[in-house]
Structure 1
């Protein structure tokens, strides 16, 4: 992105953005300028620039400290991908379930202020005039808001912008939100498909930081997102899941299929925030499960994800979550992440194939064959990194995740035979039980989705796979089970202060108290 475009984004968003605090409802919902139809039509910038900003803030692109709290110090770590060597707050922090409310506000704040608000603004200008921009905003909004729902549970979605002075701004339960996500994706796909079929000029190019204005690619992404959400609810709501999943699977434009289809936001020339966290601050290292699984499988993606330690060219060490860390230097020599390019990855085509593999297990129409989809998921992930030996890897029926040894502290070891150490191999076995097939699919999907920790954490909570190592130190005060792992983040403190009555009603839709140990609607574990 050129500097003029960034400056334009800031200029436009200075008009658009404001806090999501309900105490300032009149301020945040007032457009201080009145735009004419001519201004609205000029280069589509009034709608396009806000949607560029929304893409950039799916994970805040230009503020690494906020990005660290938005995702890294929750989902990236809870997913088993990464771990911090830093003993934040006297070693009582999210990594060992000593949840810090001022950390856990950030996912909510960034998404509502920088994504939901901008999408709502763009839709208000596009409605009745520019159906393609309206549909595009729907897709971006669902991508952002399903992530927030999968962190907290209930969200402000269908009632966004509707203030009751006495009762606040009301929430959707997670079930209501998911049903609304499906509705919005269905409408958006129908709209953009109509534009594609009519040969109408495609108008996103100047603002699209993912697919450079290609409507077909956005339909593929929306279909895959719909399938992701359908699989997510397949345990709790199988009828609705099948209906939505089959609609995605059987759509004529299809799903993401090759690495060229990956959904990744181009933040150039800004560097990837994970690079800052890992290399500038030394706050990020490989996790113990990543070491165990990737080294155990002799996975050639290992060198594309992490950097060897100083102990040798093929020596990788990860840090176990929830351990005693006296000082950063104790574990800072463990494996760093590779340096990422200027794209933030949110969905891979490999994930789409693994979603199809699971859908095939359930007999969904259009899903094809589970074994074929599983193999294609692995080969697609390998192709993403230009790795050529996928067949040898996927036919490996011997190697398993390695036991974990912490060279700094033996109390953190996970020895052979530990129930948290997986014994699953890579090669597909058609005669295996459904749960073994599911473990293979999810384990390989988990590997292929790296470094997208939000989705990896959600899938671990839903399925229990891949097998991860529980925290050694649990500072939750009994609100989070060590064996069941953390299930969600509590409702953000900012909402408890500014929207208390609505939050109380939202909490009543949960399966238990507003703690990190209460499972979400779709989480049956």
Structure 2
């Protein structure tokens, strides 16, 4: 406990140094730390404390209003996981594609200011002398910044901290950013693997809020992250995807295996921000696709994800995205989220098995059987919630997602004959088409990744699965196609003010205009 308090004090000191930032990217790039080489010796606090901060701010753990704008009112909603009953801004907001710039600055600003900056600091200070800290910072940097790239597209990554002769910070295209991600993960995995194999002391236990200093688990996470990114780009660069994916699959220490390997940041004693959004503010409820899929499958995970309504212990109701809401009280009776423990999950081990299942479909060496991996993904997800009845679930070849009925407005219903209602069943079918197999894998993966909306939204955009319900009201001014759903967030407005020349070049890297309807580089659906 004493160590934890000391770390917290150091982190707070670091935050105080940063708190004077004006929001300009020049300030975000500025190094808030200034420690000498001698300061790095001893208990390694000046190397480790910045990475404690980076973990805590992947999602703003101690500031629910910011966390709500950082992820919840974009990715968590766009992924089909959740919906708000609150008609923010007169019901003209992100949920119906009236993208609010003041909201959408937050994912960008939080990642650069509180995660990218301390990771780069630790990399610079660690250098060759502290390879374990260098590797750890690198893995954290990729984990944070691939999420930002998957929201916006081009990002400032390899040029972070480099001011050119125009006094601007250059962007990488998304393809360039991904190439850097792969290079950085390869470097980090090799460094940490060699360090472990050398028998050297494991030194960052006091700062690690995920794996408590277990270097092997960090290697497994990095391998799984590499496989995630390889799968993501398979539609646009098959050769690169195969190379990176097979490197992850063949690494001797492997991938995440079971629920004990989940990448989840311990924020104790602070409560999970989603609990505040749902229970204190009543701003968060179950989504309509979640109701449709989980009730249709009679999924045993349902009560571990959501709370039944007052209508009865078996009644769960979700809200469809992008509907007309005039008063908050209209839909607050829908299902609340089950309360989360004091950990924020960014990758479930079940995801590793579903990634392997898709790698099997791609024919990648080292992936094994698609059927085995698929079933292992489901069973690993079940075990995360102490459930053991996965065999019966996996044998079910009849249950399908249910039509959605809005008890307040039939215009929001999704009927049995709708093209947006999936007909995919649970049981693996070896004789099915590749597309049907993919839908089955991604649907179960989507269920298992809950509540990590950023990754779920990315996978939906990449594959089109699971089938979600389009918004009823589209306030995008024709910049987002209702049937194609939202594809990205526009670049943050602060960049137009502080980094306009580089931003202008970054916009030319896009497939279209800088709006929510333009698909990302890897998005081919």
TM class by shorter chain equals over 0.9
Q: Distance in 1 between matches of 2:19 and 2:237?
A: 36
The CA deviation at 1:188 is 0.2
2:37 is matched with which residue? 37
Matched, 1:470 2:463: no
Q: Distance in 2 between matches of 1:128 and 1:451?
A: 37
- Is the contact made by 2:7 and 2:207 (CA closer than 8 Å) also made in structure 1? no
Q: Equivalent residues in 2 for 1:297-376 (5 A)? A: 297-376=297-376
The CA deviation at 1:436 is 0.1
Q: Distance in 2 between matches of 1:378 and 1:55?
A: 27
Q: Summarize the Cα distance change of 1:157–1:378 in structure 2 as closer, same or farther, 3 Å threshold.
A: same
Q: Equivalent residues in 2 for 1:181-192 (5 A)? A: 181-192=181-192
- SS state at 1:196 partner: helix
- SS state at 1:13 partner: helix
Q: Encode CA deviations 1:332-353: one digit per residue, 9 max, x unaligned.
A: 0100000000000000110000
- Is the contact made by 1:307 and 1:338 (CA closer than 8 Å) also made in structure 2? yes
Q: Summarize the Cα distance change of 1:124–1:14 in structure 2 as closer, same or farther, 3 Å threshold.
A: farther
Matched, 1:524 2:521: no
- SS state at 2:487 partner: coil
- SS state at 1:264 partner: strand
Q: Encode CA deviations 1:52-101: one digit per residue, 9 max, x unaligned.
A: 00000000100000000000000000000000000000000000001000
Q: Distance in 2 between matches of 1:444 and 1:23?
A: 39
- Is the contact made by 1:17 and 1:117 (CA closer than 8 Å) also made in structure 2? no
Aligned length: 523
- Is the contact made by 1:20 and 1:109 (CA closer than 8 Å) also made in structure 2? no
Q: Summarize the Cα distance change of 1:392–1:20 in structure 2 as closer, same or farther, 3 Å threshold.
A: farther
Q: Summarize the Cα distance change of 1:347–1:8 in structure 2 as closer, same or farther, 3 Å threshold.
A: same
The CA deviation at 1:128 is 2.7
The equivalent position to 2:16 in structure 1, one of 14, 17, 26, is: 14
Q: CA RMSD in A?
A: 1.3
The CA deviation at 1:20 is 8.2
1:253 is matched with which residue? 253
Q: Distance in 1 between matches of 2:431 and 2:422?
A: 19
The CA deviation at 1:18 is 6.2
Q: Structure 1: state its 5+ residue gaps.
A: none
Matched, 1:123 2:123: yes
Matched, 1:244 2:223: no
- Is the contact made by 1:189 and 1:219 (CA closer than 8 Å) also made in structure 2? yes
Q: Summarize the Cα distance change of 1:36–1:168 in structure 2 as closer, same or farther, 3 Å threshold.
A: closer
Q: Distance in 2 between matches of 1:291 and 1:273?
A: 22
Matched, 1:161 2:161: yes
Q: Summarize the Cα distance change of 1:30–1:9 in structure 2 as closer, same or farther, 3 Å threshold.
A: closer
- Is the contact made by 2:25 and 2:495 (CA closer than 8 Å) also made in structure 1? no
Q: Distance in 2 between matches of 1:37 and 1:500?
A: 37
Q: Distance in 1 between matches of 2:18 and 2:296?
A: 50
Q: Summarize the Cα distance change of 1:243–1:282 in structure 2 as closer, same or farther, 3 Å threshold.
A: same
1:274 is matched with which residue? 274
Q: Distance in 2 between matches of 1:126 and 1:264?
A: 25
Q: Distance in 2 between matches of 1:239 and 1:68?
A: 38
Q: Equivalent residues in 2 for 1:137-216 (5 A)? A: 137-166=137-166, 168-216=168-216
Matched, 1:92 2:89: no
The CA deviation at 1:496 is 1.1
What TM-score results when the alignment is normalised by the length of structure 1?
Answer: 0.98
Q: Structure 2: state its 5+ residue gaps.
A: none
The CA deviation at 1:167 is 5.3
Q: Encode CA deviations 1:228-276: one digit per residue, 9 max, x unaligned.
A: 0000000011000000000000000000010000000000000000000
- Is the contact made by 1:116 and 1:141 (CA closer than 8 Å) also made in structure 2? yes
Q: Summarize the Cα distance change of 1:250–1:17 in structure 2 as closer, same or farther, 3 Å threshold.
A: farther
The CA deviation at 1:129 is 1.8
The CA deviation at 1:9 is 1.2
The CA deviation at 1:11 is 1.2
The ranges of structure 1 where at least 4 consecutive aligned residues each deviate by more than 6 angstroms after the TM superposition are: none
Matched, 1:389 2:389: yes
The CA deviation at 1:166 is 1.6
Q: Distance in 1 between matches of 2:189 and 2:292?
A: 40
The CA deviation at 1:22 is 5.0
Q: Distance in 1 between matches of 2:342 and 2:31?
A: 34
- SS state at 1:164 partner: coil
The CA deviation at 1:39 is 1.5
Q: Encode CA deviations 1:389-445: one digit per residue, 9 max, x unaligned.
A: 101001100000000000011110001110000000000100100000000000000
Q: Distance in 2 between matches of 1:24 and 1:421?
A: 47
- SS state at 1:473 partner: coil
2:294 is matched with which residue? 294
